[in-house]
Structure 1
Amino acid sequence: MTTSITTNFIPAQAAVQPGGMSVDQVISPFIGVFIAAFLVSLAATPLMRTLARKNGIVDKPDLARKLHREPIPYLGGVAIFLGWIAGMTACLLAYRYNDAGQIERLVNIPISIVFGAGVITLVGLFDDVYGSSPRVKLGGQLLAAAALASEKVGFMLVTQLLAVCGITNPPFMLCYIAGAALIAIFVLGGTNAMNLIDGLDGLAAGSAAIMNVGFLAIAVYAMIGTAMADPELTGSDPVADPVRIVLCLAALGAVLGFLPYNFNPASIFMGDAGSLLLGFLAVATILSFAHSSSKGPGLVLAGLIVFALPIIDTTLAIIRRKMRGVSISVADKNHLHHQLLRFWQRFNFGPGASVKMTALSLYAVGLALAIFGVLVAVVRVRYSIALSMVFFGFLFVAAYKSGRRIVEMEKKAELAEQAELLKSDPAP
């Protein structure tokens, strides 16, 4: 079928035509998505900053855990959401005429992802403005997960994994229940993991930008590979649908528009509205890789490796707190960024320099993980699974040992402090 592309922001020759596509042909029809998301986020962030200051929606200094010494406005997450929505809206401007003269959209945007992103942002915004209980957050996250389940985003992963186990025609209810549970685990884990690394100026935003570059590389590879395998597929087919590319470009543009205001010294924070949103979008993108091709499981695992920085930090936090015998919701100052910050502070680079060095160091880690994730995506599925098992197995062992070392250091510090108190206040 021959088609022609008409859009308000791309040339006609940049059409997505499955079968012999290049990287430029895959991305260029949707470059307007990135531009719209970036510009709207860039413009909306200072407006949200002003609005937050006028209404007292600020993060007040806390000498116990927080590094800033002046109140910093929240609502950066709203700017990111507005930028993302602008990008998703821009993709609707890309359409084509088929041989019958009918208009066909290039992208089928799952409304469940848009709805879920809105719910997650509202839940985070409510917490930023008024404060909310963990139950309210949990309810919002489960509602967003239910939205994804309603359109079966990621369900194909269940059937693919069951096929690996030798179950070729599983019952519908088994697939639905397993798929819904899988989505809930992904959404709860991903959103909260992203929230945990948002503890340093620019860290969550910059890390999310790097992750989305990695996701974009996987999405482009998946679409080109699918087109080469089946040249008859069109963009309306869920396997060839470039929705994954649009999701990556919209999220990337939105977060890059926000980052200049958030990098140290930050003039605005994204708050829970931003961190939960970025985690949800990452999870939705990873789950959508299951629908990319027959390599779905390998691509999902590759996406998880790209997202591994929040996973590593969360795994460390859970193990560390379990060893200490406290609730996993109890905050501490032993996250990855805290430990790196203490390392860089030894060099006395000056005010703010240690924060910048910590963020840049973790950017480098995130970039290495993204590159590794893309490499895992391009190998055979069996190798992807093997590499992922080795990677996450190593991660768990390293997290366990690191958690044990930190707990032992804390106990030694407590004993030393008690000994000093006894020396300074001897018994009569």
Structure 2
Amino acid sequence: MKQTISIFWFRRDLRLEDNHGLFEALNGKHPVLPIFIFDTEILEKLPINDARVTFIHKTLQNLSETLQTKYNSSLGMYLGKPLDVFKNLSQEYQIDGVFTNHDYEPYAKNRDEEVKAFLAETQIEFKTYKDQVIFEKNDILKADGTPYVVYTPYMKQWKSLFKTTDLHTFDTHSVLKNTIKNKQLPHLSLIDIAFTPSQQSIADFTVTPHLIQNYEATRNFPSQDSTSRLGPHLRFGTVSIRNMVKKAITEQNEVFWQELIWREFFMTVLWHFPHTVTQSFKPKYERIEWRNNEMEFKLWCKGITGYPLVDAGMRQLNQTGFMHNRVRMLVGSFLCKHLLIDWRWGEAYFAEKLHDYELASNIGNWQWVAGCGVDAAPYFRIFNPTTQIEKFDKNQEYLKQWCPDFQELTYPAPIVDHKFARERCLRVYKAALQ
């Protein structure tokens, strides 16, 4: 006779602490089988040494070891399409319910609908919970019931609503004993999923009181490297957003707090406007005649444009999987406005390289620099890549670290003249937007 169980499906919530869906599953009436699915639909689009896959695998190993040593339990790892994995699990177990946390990206929504429909055929409940954000979907709307498309009023409404919200955390450890016991569950190595360990590693995050208190004063200076590196950990859920917001409030740093709100703003925009994955939020920007010069794009990717701050940022990205936020704005603007290359090309390159890649934020920020998104920078704002050095890397420490050849005779000449590029951009944008 098949064992009756509940399943908890880990996705963007790779932690045992303060995990909403896991807590709900463990409080049910059946033992819980925790699982993770290496989704072949996603894996086949990634390079075989992707640092994010290495990070996910290592995190899962740690979770599994904790479950084994403390609770005589384990975590099942599966490879395939989620629908097929659930079909196989339903043959092996009597499944009472599948628990997981909400995911808001278009692919994830379609995947979940597919799984939910299959489970419903055999009367298996599919229950999902809010976990990776404080506010989601329709939680924050304008008075007329439409979504916000400008950040500042969204942020004010977010804070107003937050004042009356109980920031409840979930004591998962008190109920982890309710996982399946003494069961040999499938454990996959990186080789099993056809990946190799990455030479890059995802940095641990730093959210000390000192960093939060000094965040506003230091965050714009790339040489100081005083950003929290929280991005990948929020992306994969190795840290609780509720705990991070509590830290921001404890240290009373509005700017750090507002960065967390930006993330939710972009997630809400993507939820309401999924077409923005491939199209400009402002339709008239689809009329821009991009030059899309492939050779210039390659030079941008490699960090050999002849503009030191642009090149330093791209080389930092290529070598580490990270780029300082201030520099991200500059390299994005340079691609779209100096080179007139479609923001979608840059978005795809960042998606491949960034450890903290998150679809909503990547789309939102690329459309911001191109001028075509919600609450975007006006198209006539064109960063000067040379004066940006004076503003944000006056002593050239960042340049010396990531673009040490910038003062050498072998350093390339600028691939385009700033004044010429600026005038060309204004002309092309203006023609498209008339």
Q: TM-score, normalised by structure 2?
A: 0.28
Judging by fraction of residues, say which structure has more helix: 1
Q: Which has the higher contact order (CA 8 A, sep 6+)?
A: 1
Q: TM-score, normalised by structure 1?
A: 0.28
